[in-house]
Amino acid sequence: FLKQFLQTVINHSTDSNTVIYIADNGSTDGSAEWITENHKDVKLIRLDKNHGFAGGYNLALGKIKAEYYILLNSDIEVTPGWLKPLVDFMDQNTDVASCQPKILAYNNKEYFEYAGAAGGYIDKYGYPFCRGRIFHKTEKDTGQYNDPVDTFWSSGACMIVRATAWKKCGGLDAAFFAHMEEIDLCWRFHKAGFRV
């Protein structure tokens, strides 16, 4: 995924205010070496072992000083201009702890991606669902979710987080290791008085 998507992230994300970090979560497949050899413009944080999605992000972000963190999976393809609207929205809405863009499926870009779609909610039974995805069915993106709205959670696949809110709420709970950790974090954002 790094070979496929990293250059696009660099091309569409970097400016004088943005630094790209990659947290290597104890990989053994040569990823860290490949980054060191091919992308000297990227900062590499090497962790000693696989601490999971949650623990890995906590350790990596603990080493970074920034106003905002972008959590971005290595299998995400970003498009030109993707980052500025997220940062502008956060700048204009200081009570928002995190937000996400619409996330479309890589193999069928007319449809939402299962992992987060257009923002998440949770029902009264504690079941998470998204705008654009109910159970295993994803919707075609016809612009029906182009409006910014308050949600219950933003997807860890691609989300911007206010660093002060992250620190105040304790980051991701490493007990989750992977999956549902962003829902738990966003729940704590709400409890602390932030919007998502």
Q: Tens digit of pLDDT per residue, the chain (196 long)?
A: 999 999 999 999 988 899 999 999 999 999 999 999 999 999 999 999 999 999 999 999 999 999 999 999 999 999 999 999 999 999 999 999 999 999 999 999 999 999 899 999 999 998 999 999 988 899 999 999 999 999 999 999 999 999 999 999 999 999 998 889 999 999 999 999 999 9
Q: Is 181 left (phi over 0), alpha (psi -120 to 50) or beta?
A: alpha
Q: How far apart are CA 84 and CA 123, in angstroms?
A: 31
Q: What are the structure tokens assigned to 17, written together? A: 């205010």
Cα 83 to chain center, whole Å?
12
